[in-house]
Amino acid sequence: DVERLKKPDWIRVKAATASSRFYEIKDILRANKLVTVCEEASCPNIGECFGKGTATFMIMGDKCTRRCPFCDVGHGRPDPLDVNEPGNLAKTIADLRLSYVVITSVDRDDLRDGGAGHFVECIQKTRALSPNTKIEVLVPDFRGRLEKALNIFADGLPDVMNHNLETVPRLYKEARPGADYKHSLVLLRDFKKMYPSAVTKSGLMVGLGETDEEILEVMRDMREHDIDMLTIGQYLAPTSSHLPVRRYVHPDVFKMFEEKAYEMGFVHAAVGAMVRSSYHADQQAHEAGVA
């Protein structure tokens, strides 16, 4: 039985402020039957993000075909794709007047293209209604169908292609069963090679049992695979049945990771306890020269 670590005082979850924008977004999401990661993954930044009009949309349902023990998304047999979803998503983004959106999905190992075609349809429909909105996609690993999936993106490119490595290779078996470290790096490298105008991005969590040196090694691997943007945040166990937090990384260490990231040549690095892959995604992209 793992003793639960006490949260240090730099882990502060801001209460979800009941701004009118927050409720406006919730209402519009419900009306259009859209799911957000913000809600599904119990993200601690939801008050702030909804308050300022940012959200991360989760397409292709809320049931994942994988079971990563750090993740709070539901598992099980996924529902068939909702053909109206790309249209509903595009309309919602337009209604909410969002200038920057993140679109992500559960893993859909049941689909022949891993869901790439559905992503592209969402991008196309969103571009049609909101031509000035910047689009970031946070994609699953398309294992077993990578070439097919990457080719499909030629029909609708995102501004930012994000795929999270999540943790160091030594912990993959435990934390990302079904995924492969090298494969995820290759996904981002090949995407960049095929579509050099898009920016690539990846993220890590700390606190799963890795060392600082292992994190630095992953960062070096990322640069060797031409990844432009980086996020690193503290893992917080969603419930006591998820992987336990094995350490809380001190702010000074986050600072060190950030400095090293710029030395290594990342265009942007968002590093800090409460950073999430999509946290201030608009600002990250803006600082990286995208938006």
Q: Is residue 270 classed as helix, strand or coil in its secondary structure?
A: strand
Size of site (CB under 6 A) for ligand SF4 = 21
Of the pair 266, 279, the CB lying nearest ligand SF4 is at: 279
The secondary structure of the chain in percent helix, strand, coil, rounded to multiples of 5, reads 40, 15, 45
Q: Which one-letter DSSP state was computed for residue 5?
A: P
- Comparing CB distances to ligand SF4, the nearer of 72 and 226 is 72
Amino acid letter, 278: S
Q: 3-state class of 128 per DSSP?
A: helix
The b/e string for 164-200 (b: 16+ C-beta within 10 A; e otherwise) is: bbbbbbebbeebbeebebeebbebbbebbeebeebbb
Task: Report the nearest approach of ligand SF4 to the CB of residue 71 (Å).
Answer: 3
Member of 279, 284, 285, 288 binding ligand SF4 (CB under 6 A): 279
> From residue 100 to residue 139, what is the string marking binding to ligand SF4 with x (rule CB under 6 A)?
------xx--------------------------------
Q: Shortest gap between Cβ of 127 and ligand SF4 (angstroms)?
A: 20
- Cross-sheet strand order for the sheet of 134-138: 35-36, 56-59, 100-105, 134-138, 160-162, 199-206, 229-234, 268-271
Taking the complex as a whole, the smallest distance from the CB of residue 211 to ligand SF4 amounts, in Å, to 22
Whichever of 21 and 193 has its CB closer to ligand SF4, that residue is: 21
Residue 291 identity (one-letter amino acid): A
Which of 35, 56, 167, 290: binder of ligand SF4 (CB under 6 A)? 56
H/E stretch holding 211 reads none
Query: If binding is defined by CB under 6 A, does position 71 make contact with ligand SF4?
Result: yes
Q: Point out which residues pair with 104 in neighbouring strands.
A: 58, 138
Shortest Å, Cβ 152 to ligand SF4? 19
Type of residue at 241: S
d(C-alpha 260, C-alpha 177), whole Å: 29
DSSP class of residue 176 equals S
Binding track, positions 10-49, relative to ligand SF4; x by CB under 6 A:
---------------------------xx----x-xx--x
**Per CB under 6 A, 149 contacts ligand SF4:** no
Alpha carbons 288 and 273: distance in angstroms, whole number: 21
Between 19 and 194, CB nearer to ligand SF4: 19
Length of the chain: 291
Q: Does 68 bind ligand SF4 (CB under 6 A)?
A: yes
Nearer to ligand SF4, 130 or 284 (CB): 284
CB nearer to ligand SF4: give 74 or 265: 74
Q: What does the binding site for ligand SF4 look like in residue numbers (CB under 6 A)? A: 37-38, 43, 45-46, 49, 54-56, 64, 66-68, 71, 73, 106-107, 140, 276, 278-279
